[in-house]
Structure 1
Amino acid sequence: MRHERVRAPSLGEDVRQGQEGGPQRACSAARRACAPSLGEDVPQGQEGRPVSASSPLPGSRVLPLRGLYAITPESADAGSLFVAVEAALLGGCRWLQYRDKRSAPPERRRRAEALLSLCRAYGAALIVNDDLELAAAVGAAGVHLGQGDGDAAFARRRLGSTAIVGVTCHGRYDLALAARARGADYVAFGAVFPSSTKPAAEAAPLELFTRARQELGTPACAIGGITLDNAPAVIAAGADLLAVITDLFAAQDIAARAAAYQHLFEETAHELPQPATL
């Protein structure tokens, strides 16, 4: 089946360009996600009710812990960030991690709430990076914890039994075992390839994903230098999620790039992990 796709700009490109259906129209929901601070209308849900950070997803949503896992890039401009994220959602991305090491707490909360509204509009899940209290405050689907950034079991108690808790395990299987024992829903291994985001990160061999699939029973996320060219080998090794920043958000057409990543998972036949109920 062929799907009509509207080209979405890469992060940092002028998003105010385009006439009669260009990027400006394609990303209208991203602008509405900023509504509380801009005085515009917020995204509308069923029967005209506004979609807010605290609104539940319409109907029963079950998302497998599998596919593209977009991680937001650092961006000084919130509007460009929201447009880029919506483009990824338009392309089929259903897992988004909000990672922001620069913004002040009030701005981080505003952005998290806007991103959550976007995710809810597309039936996607928002995970907050390394900030359990922010995840709890905005009602995110879950939190991702680095080593030393918190305990998975405590995060589970804080966010509730249905929350998604992910844990960074670098290149160590023993950390994955410990994370599973503490109730992690997924473990992240990386850097799988050299990464500009974390150039000093230790290497995580592909064999980790094969072992995790055979022995761990917990979905494994690959992070670090992931591209469309090397992604098939990572999926074939056993990765359930591909965490991508640069290769997604620096693409000329973010929606098309996201769709291409999702298609890789459709082409790869192996047992699906346990779904996560949002």
Structure 2
Amino acid sequence: MTAPAARPGLRGLYFVTPDRAAGRIALVAAALRGGARVVQYRDKSGTGMARLPETRELLALCRKAGALLLINDDVELCLAAAADGVHLGEDDAGIAEARDQLGPNRVIGASCYNDLDRARRAIAAGADYVAFGSVYPSPTKPAARRANPDLLRAARAELAVPICAIGGITPDNAAPVVAAGADMVAVIQAISEAPDPETAARALQALFP
């Protein structure tokens, strides 16, 4: 199966699912109602094709909302579910290899941490967007490398692909990140731990008119 011919752009709120399975579908639905444009299915506790039924359920929600569903570090699951693409970290499958498997029409994102040169290499290998972070201290990854606003500005001035910022971003501190050049802000706990996930999502998406 191939990815849809017409897809939304890589701009706006990017929701990364929490590892816990309980309530994950409901959280994604709330984020999408709030305007999320991209959802990344991240489940480090699951394995292989056992995650296929949930992936298909998430994909149906994203299709209905006109959003993208990307799979964290699993090209085979992406293909099996006919999802929109994958997001790869430095220890994940190679970008060029993933591009060969996924073809030209699916999205590949690459974690670049605080390394602009890594972003250059990722784009040369076929990445459609690059992600920098942690922008702020992150409760999800407290030891994560930090990417400051100057790095985002430098990336925006040079790179021709969308830029995603991640790490400790909330509705209260996201505006400077967008002003520095982020096309997307990726969050987990800002939505998953919010008293009202839909309202939190709407506040973040509102930064992208």
TM-score of the pair, normalised by structure 1? 0.72
Specify whether residues 204 and 110 from structure 1 end up closer, same or farther in structure 2 by C-alpha distance, changes over 3 A only. same
Query: What is the match of residue 227 of structure 1?
Result: 170
**Aligned with 1:136 (options 64, 76, 79):** 79
The Cα offsets for residues 147-167 of structure 1, whole Å up to 9 and x where unpaired, read as 121221221121121110000
Aligned counterparts, 1:15-164, within 5 A: 61-77=6-22, 80-164=23-107
What is the CA-CA distance between 1:84 and the residue it aligns to?
1.3
Query: What is the match of residue 217 of structure 1?
Result: 160
Specify whether residues 66 and 151 from structure 1 end up closer, same or farther in structure 2 by C-alpha distance, changes over 3 A only. same
Contact 2:12 2:184 in 1 (8 A): yes
Specify whether residues 184 and 104 from structure 1 end up closer, same or farther in structure 2 by C-alpha distance, changes over 3 A only. closer
The 3-state SS of whatever aligns with 1:87 is helix
The 3-state SS of whatever aligns with 1:243 is strand
Distance 1:213 1:86 in 2: 31
Distance 2:199 2:40 in 1: 19
Distance 2:2 2:79 in 1: 14
The 3-state SS of whatever aligns with 2:170 is coil
The Cα offsets for residues 3-53 of structure 1, whole Å up to 9 and x where unpaired, read as xxxxxxxxxxxxxxxxxxxxxxxxxxxxxxxxxxxxxxxxxxxxxxxxxxx
Contact 1:212 1:218 in 2 (8 A): no
Query: What is the match of residue 176 of structure 1?
Result: 119
Contact 2:3 2:106 in 1 (8 A): no
The Cα offsets for residues 110-136 of structure 1, whole Å up to 9 and x where unpaired, read as 211111111112111100001111111
What is the CA-CA distance between 1:56 and the residue it aligns to?
6.9
Instruction: Give the aligned residue type for 1:113.
Output: R
What is the CA-CA distance between 1:55 and the residue it aligns to?
9.2
> Is residue 124 of structure 2 the alignment partner of residue 201 of structure 1?
no
Specify whether residues 55 and 145 from structure 1 end up closer, same or farther in structure 2 by C-alpha distance, changes over 3 A only. closer
The Cα offsets for residues 147-194 of structure 1, whole Å up to 9 and x where unpaired, read as 121221221121121110000111011101111111110001111111
Contact 2:11 2:37 in 1 (8 A): no
The 3-state SS of whatever aligns with 2:59 is helix
Structure 1 runs not aligned, ≥5 long: 1-53, 267-278
Displacement over 6 Å in runs of 4+: none
What is the CA-CA distance between 1:219 and the residue it aligns to?
1.1
What is the CA-CA distance between 1:217 and the residue it aligns to?
1.1
> Is residue 202 of structure 2 the alignment partner of residue 259 of structure 1?
yes
Identity of paired residues, percent?
A: 49
Contact 1:68 1:93 in 2 (8 A): yes
Structure 2 runs not aligned, ≥5 long: none
TM-score of the pair, normalised by structure 2? 0.95
The Cα offsets for residues 211-262 of structure 1, whole Å up to 9 and x where unpaired, read as 1111111211101100111100000000111010001121121111111111
Distance 2:159 2:49 in 1: 39
Distance 1:99 1:127 in 2: 9
Superposition RMSD in Å: 1.6
The 3-state SS of whatever aligns with 2:8 is strand
Contact 1:61 1:123 in 2 (8 A): no
